Amino acid sequence: MNICIVSSWVPSKRRPHFAPFVYNFAEKLGKFGHEVSLVSPLDDADESISHKDMITIYRVNAKLPIFSILRLVGKIKPQIIHVHAPNYFSCNAILAAKLKKIPIIATVHRAEVDKIGNPTFFFRKLALARFAKIIAVSDHTKSLAVKAGVKDSKITVIYNSCDERFFFYERDKEHLRRKLNFRCNDKLILFVGNLIKRKGVALLIESLHLLRATVPKFLAIIVGQGEELQNLKELVEKYGLNDYVKFYGRITKTELSELYAVADVFVLPSASEGHSVALLEAMASGLPIVASDIEGNKESVQDGVNGLLFKNASREELAENLANVVADQSLKQSMSIKSSENYLKKFSTKIQIDNYLKIYTSLLKTH
């Protein structure tokens, strides 16, 4: 099948770690034997056309992209146009699809259909009505899309997946800990994500201050970058946690997979989520989860089965749940197994791609 993906959420040379999941999705389709083109905004450091991992990437001017997108669609001749994260740039593909009589669908992740803090929400609402099908990455995202005016019957939930070449269960934890210079008896707590207020990392640091009273030997590994980094470092200093917290910034996927492999527990204290890919990476890696009890997280974390949920914004419950997981080896082992099993049963790459292909095929039959 010939598929054209249009999205501004694509890494570039200047921002190599920006929103990797759209590119990863295109790569998965290519590995399943499909012809995939990816259209994204042009960055001065990038070539206008490049080929990588069985994908052809086209970069076009983001200021007035309609003519370039229309020209590329005529050149590529896709059977399906798939917009990821509809916004000003990617929604220009709607006109190209209509003029060329090609079915067009959109995947929404959260922000695109969330009214809160979204000045372009009205325009996005109009654009969403023009797609033949809307894919939501979680039931929570679907509920936001319905509130945004999309008909329930037009929406299908297809969960995200992660890169299973890197994130998998049962690796040699002790060997990797020695390699990475972590002490074998330390309890390693891992967070991965953008360092923005919504992710709740300040709450995590406050909970670590409480955790120190019951778990004397732990290290919190915080992987990510963002506008809150300096504030978070100051908070660590304020609570005297310099020996208990390590910031990593952006790292390679191999390095990240090793941190998942050596960790004892993954923590996600976000105030809101669509469907966290980091959470899926942790599950695929066989980690027990401690997460806020928000809608997006509850679709992945079964409280008491593969993790523990805490009341959103409660540093006391967060600290208590972390202590319970790291202190109970039997509980930790049970949750590790369930995380891996639940990922494979519900969120695997094969399930994700098979579900998308069913949508593509159905639209081609009826278009």
More confident residue, 289 or 173: 289
pTM to 2 decimals?
0.93
Q: Is the pLDDT of residue 314 over 90?
A: yes
How is the beta sheet containing 104-108 ordered, strand by strand? Answer: 49-52, 55-60, 35-41, 2-6, 80-84, 104-108, 133-136, 155-157
Angle subtended at Cα 279 by Cα 115 and Cα 197, rounded to the nearest 5 degrees: 45
Q: Is the pLDDT of residue 158 over 70?
A: yes
Q: What's the mean per-residue pLDDT of the chain?
A: 93
Q: Is 246 exposed, middle or buried (0-12, 13-18, 19+ CB in 10 A)?
A: middle
Give residue 117's pLDDT. 58
The per-residue pLDDT for range 4-50, each reduced to its tens digit, is 999 999 888 887 777 788 999 999 999 999 999 999 999 877 889 99
Percent of the chain topping pLDDT 70: 98
How far, in Å, CA of 119 to CA of 115, rounded? Answer: 8
Q: How far is CA 210 from CA 163, 256, 316, 318, 340, in A?
A: 34, 27, 7, 9, 29
The per-residue pLDDT for range 37-85, each reduced to its tens digit, is 999 999 877 889 998 878 999 999 998 999 999 999 999 999 999 999 9
Give residue 152's pLDDT. 95
The per-residue pLDDT for range 262-293, each reduced to its tens digit, is 999 999 999 999 999 999 999 999 999 999 99
Nearest CA-CA partner of 221 in 266, 271, 273, 184: 266
- In this structure, are residues 191 and 201 in contact, taking their beta carbons and an 8 Å threshold? yes
Q: Which residues pair with 191 in a beta bridge?
A: 222
Give residue 148's pLDDT. 85
Give residue 125's pLDDT. 78
Give the 3-state secondary structure of residue 154.
helix
Among 174-178, 317-321, 334-338, 339-343, which stretch is predicted with the lowest mean pLDDT? 174-178
Hey, what are 215's tokens?
């778990």
The per-residue pLDDT for range 92-131, each reduced to its tens digit, is 999 999 999 999 999 999 878 876 556 666 777 788 999 9
